[in-house]
Structure formats: C-alpha cells, structure tokens
Amino acid sequence: MKAFVFPGQGAQFPGMGKSLYESNPEAKALFEKANEILGFRITDIMFDGTEEELKQTKVTQPAIFLHSVVLAKTTPDFAPDMVAGHSLGEFSALVANGTLAFEDGLKLVYQRALAMQEACEINPSTMAAILGLADEKVEEICAEFTDEIVVPANYNCPGQLVISGSNKGIEIACEKMKAAGAKRALPLPVGGAFHSPLMEPAREKLQKAIEATHFSNPICPVYQNVSTTAVSDVAEIKKNLIAQLTAPVKWTQSVQNMVKDGAIQFVECGPGKVLQGLVKKIHSEAEVSGL
C-alpha cells in the first residue's frame, strides 16, 4: 500500500515551486488562483524571496501547503491508499484525499497562520528539539514543571522529541534534559510554542473557521496527528483538526500505525525531504521517495 505524507513548517526554501509553475500550466493556474485568494502574490515570495521573508509564519504555512497540494494535484494517477501530514501538512493531506476543496484548505491554512502569529505575539514562547533521550524521560521532565508551561509537542521519530512552552520554561527544560542524558537540547528558531496550551487563542479562532467550512467524505483515510489512527469520518476529522493546535503531533505513532495497516511505500509530497528521513528512522524497511 502507498502512503502519501505532507511536510510542515520548516520545509520551505527560496525558489520553492518555481520549476513546477514554469513547466506545468495546471500548476501555474493553481498558483495564480492562490495569489487571488490570498490577496497578495505569494508566488513572488516563494520564487524570489529571501529565506527571512519566507520564514514569516503567515507566508511559510500557505507556501508549504501550496507547494504540496499543487504537486499532488498535478501528479498523474495520484491514488493514495492513505495520507498523513506533519502539523500544517495535515491540511495538505486533507485536500489531497478530497476532504477539503483547494480553496477552502488554503483559506483555513492562511487563517491558521495569522491566528498562530497573533498567539505568538500574545505569549512570547518557543520550542526545543531534544535528541537522544527516551520519550518517557522527556515526558517525565516536562511533567515536573508547575510554574512554567513545558509540554511534549512533536514526536518526530524515536530519540527526537520537540518540546514547547514559555521561554523561561524551555531554557530550564533544556538544562534538565541534558543533565538527564540527552545528546542535545536545541532551541529552535520558531516564532512561538506551537502544539502547546499557549496556542489556545489561535485554536479558538481556527475552530470557528473549521466549523464554518464544508468537509467532504475522503477517498482514503487520513492518519491524524492527534489520533494517530486511520480516520474517514468527517465529524472526527474536524474534531481532531481543531484539537491539533494545542495537542502534540504524534508523528512516530502515526507512521507506526500506517505500517501496521499495510503501508510499504511512503511518498513525501512537498518541499524538502524531512519526512522521508523521519519515516526511515521510524521504520527502516519502508520504501521512501519524494515527488
């Protein structure tokens, strides 16, 4: 069985999507439609912008979504047996499996990006990658915090867990993780504490937008970050998508469940190769490739 997986924030790079735009008329039409919907030429930033310009959450998220979805929509015989996306990538996955229309997916991603940027301004906060420490130990250290917010945010692969929380909390947590034997505890260059309770203001805004959007029955199941299992029920997809902003991304567990359900090939659909690397670390026998 073939699984298509879609990357999240961090996969962007200057020039992303340019060759696709120039070589494929269908891709060009979708990119131009996106410029129209967003009200600014995001393609100019994607194709010719600097790394700094691309790094703004309100640009990054729609840019990665666009690159991923346009790739899926212009791939001949695109027929996934299952899909999954890492954080923001879940929206790309839901367009790819027919749950969301392209236009609705893009509008939701842009609203999500703006709401997250606003939440970051309300609560200055950050994230850090903890390498070489068992998930259970990371969870245990996070649970010790009472005055500061520190939570597990991204279960990327065994031995790589990203934590999220207040600036002070993350600083103290990094020291504790190193003292407990972590190989590295790296603060990440992100705008805020994604997938933590500090994203609650963004979750509330996004909930209204999601509830007002039409969701269709998917052509194949999506393995969502919150549930980690195959989901095809529209009401459940919505519920998990709303919960996602303040809940951890359980990528390790999602890939393990996809393998258990028969996935042999994993195709990364979008910029970069991050997910291909993570899938290999989770299940070394998986066949991985990119579009």
Q: Catalytic positions, please?
A: 87, 195
DSSP percent split of the chain into helix, strand, coil, nearest 5: 50, 15, 35
How far does Cα 170 stand from its chain's mean position? 21
CB distance 91 to 100 below 8 Å = yes
CB distance 218 to 99 below 8 Å = yes
CA-to-CA dists, residue 18 to 14, 70, 170, angstroms? 9, 12, 37
How far does Cα 166 stand from its chain's mean position? 21
Residue type, 280: K
Q: Name which of 223, 277, 273 is nearest 250 in CA terms.
A: 223
* All residues at 6 or more sequence positions from 287 whose CB lies less than 8 Å from its CB, including other chains: 264, 265, 266
Please return the burial class of 204, using the count of CB atoms within 10 Å of its CB with bins 0-12, 13-18 and 19+: middle
**What is the three-class DSSP state of 266?**
strand
Backbone angles phi and psi of 20, in degrees to 5? -65, -45
CA-to-CA dists, residue 256 to 113, 260, 285, angstroms? 29, 6, 12
Token representation of residue 2:
């073939």
DSSP alpha helices (H): ranges in 86-166?
Answer: 89-96, 102-122, 135-143
